[in-house]
């Protein structure tokens, strides 16, 4: 058996999340259908991070095992010929048996794109979150700084979360304003279900002036979902990159086709 890793991008707006479901309208369902058509045999994929309905993938990584001997490029072009336009394999690479898309990963990075304008834009309906009032970016940065480090993030965890532990290490939250857009970057060893969207909900409360930046410490310390803000919309959330040990030489995500993904290109990882 040969282990193959794929880099996958998708527009999550039309799908019910990543994970396979009986109704079939998920990214995993579509990808495995395309792989089955190409390989002429069932293929089961293992994913780095399961994204929710409406969440997009820029740097998603999966792996699967196969008895077929095909060139790496064939695992890009073949499945792509059977995939809808909203899903695309960006790269393929044969991996050693010890590589695991989920368990070999040591960090994940998410972007959130927020559009700030009195009137919503239909052109951004599924590509960015939206608020209609100005936000205090400096206050949001201060609030975000209270979250950096290893903590119990139960306050930002959904009731459906299946993670064995709520303790995660949040390495970085960056907030950058460009015109009517505010860009957020979250980097951690792993994330809980709805964690980024729940963090966004709290940051926006602070940005609106409804809560002081120090409130974030109280929410974190409470370990109670009831103390945090409502879960924010999924539309502007992107799984940007998954980090792996250098020994696996996992290709970098091909994000040039998404304009706002280049916002962070020259911004250092702190």
Where residue 191 sits, what CATH number does that domain have?
3.30.70.660
Q: For position 43, which CATH number holds?
A: 3.30.70.580
Residue 268 is predicted with a pLDDT of 55
Residue numbers of the domain that contains 131 = 107-238
Q: Is residue 268 part of a domain?
A: no
- Whether 122 and 37 map to the same domain: the answer is no
Residue 256 is predicted with a pLDDT of 66
- Whether 113 and 69 map to the same domain: the answer is no
- Whether 143 and 232 map to the same domain: the answer is yes
Is 110 labelled as part of a ligand binding site? yes
Of the residues 11, 52, 174, 235, only one is catalytic, namely 52
- Whether 89 and 128 map to the same domain: the answer is no
Q: In whole angstroms, what is the distance from residue 206 CA to residue 145 CA?
A: 13
Give pLDDT tens digits along the chain (270 positions): 999 999 999 999 989 999 998 877 999 999 999 999 999 999 999 999 999 999 999 999 999 999 999 999 999 999 999 999 999 999 999 999 999 999 999 999 999 999 999 999 999 999 999 999 999 999 999 999 999 999 999 999 988 887 889 999 999 999 999 999 999 999 999 999 999 999 999 999 999 999 999 999 999 999 899 999 999 999 999 999 999 999 999 999 876 666 666 676 655 555
Residue 158 is predicted with a pLDDT of 87
* Strand ranges for the chain from DSSP E: 2-10, 46-47, 56-66, 87-95, 107-116, 129-131, 149-152, 167-178, 181-188, 237-243
Indicate if 226 belongs to the active site.
no
Q: What's the Cα-to-Cα distance from 214 to each of 6, 9, 26, 206, rounded to whole Å?
A: 42, 37, 39, 9
- Whether 144 and 24 map to the same domain: the answer is no
Q: Is residue 251 part of a domain?
A: no
Residue 23 is predicted with a pLDDT of 77
Q: 103: Cβ–Cβ under 8 A, 6 or more apart, which residues?
A: none
Q: Name the CA radius of gyration of the chain, rounded.
A: 19
Residue 21 is predicted with a pLDDT of 86
Half-sphere exposure of 155 (CA within 13 A, CB side): 20
Residue 260 is predicted with a pLDDT of 64
Q: Following DSSP, what letter does each residue of 131-142 receive, concatenated?
A: ESS---HHHHHH
């Amino acid at each position: 058996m040969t282990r193959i890793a794929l880099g996958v991008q998708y527009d999550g707006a039309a799908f019910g999340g990543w994970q396979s479901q009986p109704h079939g309208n998920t990214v995993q369902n579509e990808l495995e259908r395309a792989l089955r058509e190409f390989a002429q045999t069932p293929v089961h994929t293992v994913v780095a991070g399961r994204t929710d309905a409406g969440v997009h993938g820029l740097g998603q990584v999966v792996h699967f095992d196969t008895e077929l001997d095909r060139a790496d490029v064939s695992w890009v072009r073949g499945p792509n010929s059977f995939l809808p336009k909203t899903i695309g394999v960006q790269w393929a690479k044969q991996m050693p048996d010890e590589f695991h898309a989920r368990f070999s990963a040591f960090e994940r990075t998410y972007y959130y794109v927020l559009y700030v304008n009195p009137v919503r834009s239909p052109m951004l309906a599924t590509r960015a979150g939206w608020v209609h009032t100005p936000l205090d970016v400096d206050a949001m940065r201060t609030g975000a700084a209270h979250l950096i480090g290893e903590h119990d993030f139960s306050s930002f965890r959904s009731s459906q979360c299946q993670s064995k532990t709520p303790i995660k290490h949040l390495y970085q939250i960056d907030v950058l304003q460009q015109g009517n857009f505010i860009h957020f970057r979250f980097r951690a060893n792993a994330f809980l279900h709805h964690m980024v969207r729940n963090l966004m909900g709290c940051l926006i409360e602070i940005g609106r002036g409804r809560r002081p930046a120090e409130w974030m410490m109280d929410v974190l310390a409470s370990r109670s979902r009831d103390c945090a803000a409502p879960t924010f919309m999924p539309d502007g959330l992107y799984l940007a990159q998954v980090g792996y040990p250098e020994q696996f030489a996992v290709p970098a995500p091909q994000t040039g086709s998404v304009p706002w993904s280049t916002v962070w290109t020259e911004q250092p990882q702190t």
